Chains A and B, each alone.
Chain A
């Protein structure tokens, strides 16, 4: 394989991972916009999505298992909001963020208890581990196409939802000016629950499509939360579409750092770019200065 093909191979692998980070980063953004909380349990939704789908796939066809996992994890997301955040609105945002870290640990332990410490994975959606598609000289798994297509369609659908539907506009209104949104009769507590449900559903879907490639086990969510957080910050908090670019950037940088540096440095690249962006452009590469200060309401 020549150097050009190798570069393409790394690029594609980076984009694949990056698209998963992008979905996690979108989840961060949705919840942050609606509640001001950074939800560090975001990666657990990805893990739960994969785990639930693997279990369901024993009983039902794969598409049904994936759909079922998305719905179940979305409900878990809604439930977490109602149980842990709705009643604690008057606590500071910092308290709520710490609660999400606690929740992340609890969900992991629960997953360990419900399932076990074994690594699982969903079957390839089409083909198998060794089937590959040639793309400009690089060999890629058909599952990569599934990941990229699913993420692309999801992001497009989310964009249409936020931009052109009444509930989507209401969500944006809540993040733009919660008090005015309330006065327009928007049920803010329900919007917050919706943001958790939506984030969880997106995370679960990502967890399903990536499962055949990266495998799923009870600890696979936490690193994703951190990479997704880096992606959200790099893109600029408050803008779900910038999160996509942030995610791809983090993924691609990571892939190339693996090609140049020892594997132990795998996670360093994400933190390096996170710190760099925080120093140089604290509002993110695509955000506006002062556009999104952490709110206390």
Chain B
């Protein structure tokens, strides 16, 4: 399998505080890869530095074999890489339709793609002229996913898409992410929802205090004692499901 994303020994942080202490990972074309870890483990910072929202201090990032480290964030799309940031980050004062069209800013076939995306998210179709900020949390997450798809990315970086959603909505979001794979979109999924992620992912990495401490096939990690210890806790498994 060809390697779509390769990260080597990446360090990044804020001010003088290093948050990620040399992380290496890779994502092959067609995979769903999970990046798990508790709050503050450095997952989001790692993701942000991949697209240039955060300037990496050290290390290398290759997308399709090309080095991309140091590029401004608005250029990350030219690597067919789209980040769906945490907290939805939709354009609250723009309509749903406008939100989606902005997602296809660099896609000359954006009107065609708009129909494809609206077919996939019928709930958005019902609300095309509504302002983004008036959608429910789950709908906003769908809008954020739909907007990312407007650019027809090859690699989708998702930052905690299930955060703050009702349990039923969480399931729906994971189903949608699973479907991305069938569309040929590769996914790097940052999550705290360990069980949900491992159920749809092919492989996963586990991060703790800025370092990747574990990697493996999702099916293996699901039963890995270390994962259970660190993130599921003793008898705490129910709360994750």
Give the B-binding residues of A (Cβ under 8 A): 166, 169-170, 172-173, 176-177, 179-188
For B83, the chain A residues whose CB sits under 8 A away are 183
Asked if B89 and A180 make an inter-chain contact with CB atoms under 8 angstroms apart, the answer reads: yes
Interface stretch, picked from B31-39, B101-109, B175-183, B213-221, is B101-109
**Smallest beta-carbon distance B16→chain A, Å:** 16
B91, closest chain A residue (CB):
A176
B93 at the interface (CB under 8 A from A): yes
Taking chain A's interface residues, is the majority helix, strand, or loop, or is none over half, making it mixed? helix
Complex-state Cα separation, A183 to B90, whole angstroms: 11
- Within 8 Å CB of B147, what residues of A? 184
B85 and A169 contact, CB distance less than 8 A: no
Q: Which of A166, A179, A186 sits near B89, CB closer than 8 Å?
A: A179
Given A169-B102, A180-B85, A185 and B74 contact (CB-CB distance below 8 Å): yes
Kindly provide the distance from the CB of B153 to the nearest chain A CB, expressed in whole angstroms.
Answer: 10
Q: Which of B76, B85, B94, B103 contacts A176 (CB 8 A)?
A: B94
Contact with B94, one of A169, A179, A183 (Cβ below 8 angstroms): A169
A-B contact count (CB 8 A): 68
Q: Count the B residues whose beta carbon is within 8 Å of the partner chain — how many?
A: 26
B92 to chain A, nearest CB (A): 6
Contact B92 A177 (CB under 8 A): yes
Assuming A169-B102, A181-B102, A186-B102, is B78 touching A176 (CB within 8 A)?
no
Complex CA–CA separation, A203 to B72 (angstroms):
32
Bound CA–CA A179/B87 (angstroms) = 12
A229 to chain B: closest CB distance in Å?
Answer: 23
Contacts of B77 in A (CB 8 A): 183-185
Contact B105 A184 (CB under 8 A): yes
Establish whether residues B53 and A179, one from each chain, have CB atoms under 8 Å apart when the complex forms: yes
In the assembled complex, which residues on chain A have CB atoms less than 8 Å from the CB atom of B53? 179, 182-183
Tell me the bound Cα distance from A269 to B147 in angstroms: 47
Nearest-CB residue, chain B, relative to A187: B74
